[in-house]
Amino acid sequence: MDAFEAALRETLDKTEAKGLLRTLRVVEEDKNIRVFSTNNYLGLATDEKMKEAAAQAIQLYGTGSGGSRLTTGNFTLHEQLEKRIASFKRKEDAIVFSSGYLANLGIISALMREGDAIFSDALNHASIIDGCRMSKAQTFIYQHANMQDLEEKLQRAVHSKKKLIVTDGIFSMDGTIAPLPEIVELAERYGAWVMVDDAHATGVLGKTGAGTAEHFGLSDRVQLTMGTLSKAIGAEGGYVAAAASVTNYLRNYARSFIFQTSLSPGVVAAAMKGIELIQSEPERRQTLQENATYMRSGLQQCGFTLIEGNTPIIAVIIGDAKQAVHFSRLLEEEGIFAPAIRPPTVAEGSSRIRVTVMATHTISEIKKALASFEKIRKEIGIIG
Ligand code: PMP
């Protein structure tokens, strides 16, 4: 082992000693495991209509786009998808990126420049944090969903040129919904724009599944709605819906849009079909909500400590990182896959099992999962 490798080893050993080493696990091929942690909330990623749409596009256009949007990779399909997203999100226009992660990097770093101020919730997704780091704007991190803290930070930045408040719609590790009405009010009072990351809320919240802004009736007062095509929509890619002036700007300045090969045709066609199914089959969303309520109340009855909420993301707090990993392993032995989420993804002492339900889970599957949770809790004595 040379010095370079030894340095890597040393860091990994320290991480392992703290019980924080990450390992990869293949679950989709294991027929004995039922997954209770996917973001494929509506089950669309394996839906026959989705597969057909993707297969047809591959037959017509091939497997890869072969270039960036600004060179040879701009197909009618990409433009159709952007129009579909814009109308779904009730915005003038939309722009698609290769992932939600790259969307956040590109949007935030392009829009927010020196002399500007960003106000970011402490629990925002890593891609927002990285977008803020890449931008030259001053970033204020406000305490999670704490409107008093947000207002104090807005007051401290009154002289900034442009101001942007950015928040997850549904927080990915807690399953709580951002207090958007209060955020929008503060934004209007202090002359800021609002950007919502609706990765987990799209297809889940709102009358038509359009997300957090629709849920609160605030679509007109949120300037930027970004999201991913990879969760409830069942495909892959990221996007932002906004005024045409914003999307035109981003086509010129968002580096992760300009310098990346565009999404492959199969993925684009699947994403379009996913949005269509979200709009035309609201019963999937209804079942998802019922399953979430059933699972949540079952876990509460078993005596677990949950982060309060009513979304399909259910954070079962274990506390200690090693114990959370142990709990997750025992769940797997029971045929339930729900991984432990540990620091640095969540705060020290708040390690948890992140349970998510899907519209395609049956009540008997949920009952079985609940029985396993209860059995393990009794075995290892976690009260929560
Ligand atoms: N934002 C949030 C809130 C997310 O949870 C994720 C995915 N984990 C992303 C952005 C990134 O999206 P993608 O997976 O499409 O890169």
Residues 191 and 178: their CA atoms lie apart, in Å, by 20
pLDDT the model gives residue 26: 81
**pTM score of the predicted model:** 0.95
Residues 34 and 43: their CA atoms lie apart, in Å, by 13
Q: What angle do CA 279, 281, 286 make, to 5 degrees?
A: 105
Give 93's strand partners. 242
pLDDT the model gives residue 122: 96
283: CB partners within 8 A, 6+ apart: none
CA of 156 relative to ligand 1 center, distance in Å = 30
Contact assessment for residue 109 and residue 134, using Cβ atoms and an 8 Å cutoff: yes
pLDDT the model gives residue 384: 53
The dotted CATH code for 48-280 is: 3.40.640.10
**Computed from CA positions of residues 274, 240, 102, 168, in that sequence, does the dihedral angle turn out positive or negative?**
negative
382 torsion bin: left (phi>0), alpha (psi -120 to 50), beta (else): beta
Residues 292 and 22: their CA atoms lie apart, in Å, by 27
- Is 172's C-beta closer than 6 angstroms to any atom of ligand 1? yes
Q: What is the DSSP string of 160-214?
A: -SSEEEEEESB-TTT-PBP-HHHHHHHHHHHT-EEEEE-TTTTTTSSTTS--HHH
- 3 state SS of 31: coil
264: CB partners within 8 A, 6+ apart: 63, 64, 65
Q: Whose CA is nearest to atom 5 of ligand 1?
A: 172
Which backbone phi and psi does 294 adopt, to 5 degrees?
Answer: -65, -50
Every domain range in the chain assigned CATH 3.40.640.10: 48-280
- 3 state SS of 140: strand
Active site residues: 172, 200, 231
Atom of ligand 1 nearest to the CA of 102: 16
Residues of the chain with pLDDT under 70: 29, 382-384
CA of 59 relative to ligand 1 center, distance in Å = 29
pLDDT the model gives residue 56: 98
Atom of ligand 1 nearest to the CA of 172: 5
- Is 372's C-beta closer than 6 angstroms to any atom of ligand 1? no
- Is 169's C-beta closer than 6 angstroms to any atom of ligand 1? no
Closest to 171 (Cα-Cα) out of 27, 373, 368, 346? 346
Every domain range in the chain assigned CATH 3.90.1150.10: 282-380
Name the one residue in this structure whose structure tokens are 């949005």.
275
- Is 41's C-beta closer than 6 angstroms to any atom of ligand 1? no
Atom of ligand 1 nearest to the CA of 229: 15
379: CB partners within 8 A, 6+ apart: 330
Neighbours of 144 (CB within 10 A): 17
Residues 256 and 239: their CA atoms lie apart, in Å, by 12
Neighbours of 6 (CB within 10 A): 9
CA of 228 relative to ligand 1 center, distance in Å = 6
pLDDT digit string, tens, across residues 233-279: 999 999 999 999 999 999 999 999 999 999 999 999 999 999 999 99
Contact assessment for residue 184 and residue 157, using Cβ atoms and an 8 Å cutoff: no
CA of 236 relative to ligand 1 center, distance in Å = 10
Residues 227 and 218: their CA atoms lie apart, in Å, by 16
Name the one residue in this structure whose structure tokens are 């990221």.
238
Q: Whose CA is nearest to atom 14 of ligand 1?
A: 100
pLDDT digit string, tens, across residues 131-167: 999 999 999 999 999 999 999 999 999 999 999 999 9
Probe residue for ligand 1, chosen from 39, 172, 346 as the CB with the greatest number of ligand atoms within 8 Å: 172
Domain 282-380, CATH among 1.10.3720.10, 3.40.50.80, 1.20.1250.20, 3.90.1150.10:
3.90.1150.10
Residues 374 and 323: their CA atoms lie apart, in Å, by 15
Q: How many residues does the chain have?
A: 384
CA of 198 relative to ligand 1 center, distance in Å = 9
ipTM of this model?
0.99
Strands 351-356 and 117-121 turn out to be: unpaired
Probe residue for ligand 1, chosen from 108, 125, 236, 256 as the CB with the greatest number of ligand atoms within 8 Å: 125
